[in-house]
Amino acid sequence: MQTNPTYSSLVAVGDSFTEGMSDLMPDGTYRGWADLLAARMAARTPGFRYANLAVRGKLIQQIVDEQVDVAAAMGADVITLVGGLNDTLRPKCDMGRVRGLLEEAVEKLAPACRQLVLMRSPGRQGPVLERFRPRMEELFACVDELAARHGAIVVDLYGAPSLSDPRLWDVDRLHLTAEGHRRVAEAVWQTLGYDPEDADWHTPMAATLPPGWAMRRVADARFARQHLLPWIARRLTGRSSGDGLPPKRPELLPYEDLA
């Protein structure tokens, strides 16, 4: 990996993780790790351009159909691709189909940029995740194999102890907090070959006393009411949280025009 490389453009492809949920800004929009990464890269390269095609809730088929060809045509120096995790969380998931679609995406994106970036997504500690962990790890094994075959780099967020800490996850238990997104941006930054700005991003937060039983039950009830039940309802009716939403930043434009 080149040290302190010069990249002139970045295109981000994916779902809510790349869109930036739940790094909420005062104006009601989401920032997220990709925006933070673009800001850092733009600070080093005048005229740096950035696009973010991610839309929350997208499955890997939708990412391939709606984002991959668009991203490949942009001719960016760096493309990030994170997808497939939403599929693994569905009750019925054909992992062979997911692997095939991910391979299709990588085969199109790798030759269309100087550097393709793939990720092993972070996983929150908790009993619910354990049900889906085998699928996630199958997906990540595919990511590793595709990266080796196509010259992509892999950012291992799944293996970072800090990002499994529930304190770095929003109340919906699906999306990282602002601090979590900051750490992801640092991880991608370093994997691209830039000098660390936070060498300890992967280090777990200092231990604190866990919340008591009553507080945990209140949090569980709030989570079920505000997030789990609506999520189940969308699955049963075939809807997605991203239905009708446009890509976050659909054009590859100078970063200062988007900041």
Tens digits of per-residue pLDDT, 131-142? Answer: 888 999 999 999
Q: What is the mean pLDDT of the chain?
A: 87
* Three-class DSSP labels, 14-69: ECHHHHCCCCECCCCCECCHHHHHHHHHHHHCCCCEEEECCCCCCCHHHHHHHHHH
Each residue's pLDDT tens digit, 171-201: 776 889 999 999 999 999 999 999 999 999 9
Task: Give the architecture-level CATH label for domain 9-254.
Answer: 3-Layer(aba) Sandwich (3.40)
Pair 17, 136: CB distance under 8 Å? no
Q: Which helix (H) or strand (E) holds 78?
A: strand 78-82
Beta strands in 101-200 (DSSP E): 115-120, 153-156
Query: Does position 44 have pLDDT exceeding 80, yes or no?
Result: yes
Domain coordinates of the chain in residue numbers? Answer: 9-254
Is residue 228 very low, low, confident or very high in pLDDT (cuts 50, 70, 90)? low
Identify the residue with better confidence: 62 or 132.
62
Average pLDDT of span 35-56 = 96
Residue 155: φ, ψ to 5°: -95, 115
Is residue 92 very low, low, confident or very high in pLDDT (cuts 50, 70, 90)? confident
